[in-house]
Amino acid sequence: MEKDYIKIFAVRLKELIGEKSVSQFAREVGIPQQTISRYLLCRREITLSNLCKIADFFGEDIDFLLGRKDY
């Protein structure tokens, strides 16, 4: 139950990336492509610094990205 945020984050990140390739997004946000892929596959827990980078990139609230808040 406490790791549900990893799954929710993966879903929301996929939605935000949209049609863009993972490698293109990774370059734009400044996070290695392999790391982004692991987030999307729920194989890696996101670090606070990367969470902040992604939230800032998309102009989203961290709580929204982690599923703690919905719009």
3-state helix, strand and coil shares in percent for the chain, rounded to the nearest 5: 65, 0, 35
User: Which CATH number applies to 4-65?
Assistant: 1.10.260.40
Tell me what pLDDT residue 70 has.
Answer: 82
35 with 50: CB under 8 angstroms? yes
Query: What digits encode the pLDDT tens for the residues 19-71?
Result: 999 999 999 999 999 999 999 999 999 999 999 999 999 999 999 999 988 87
The answer to whether the predicted template modeling score (pTM) of the entire model surpasses 0.95 is no
Tell me what pLDDT residue 2 has.
Answer: 58
In whole angstroms, give the CA distance from residue 40 to residue 11.
7
In whole angstroms, give the CA distance from residue 41 to residue 7.
8
In whole angstroms, give the CA distance from residue 15 to residue 17.
6
Tell me what pLDDT residue 1 has.
Answer: 46
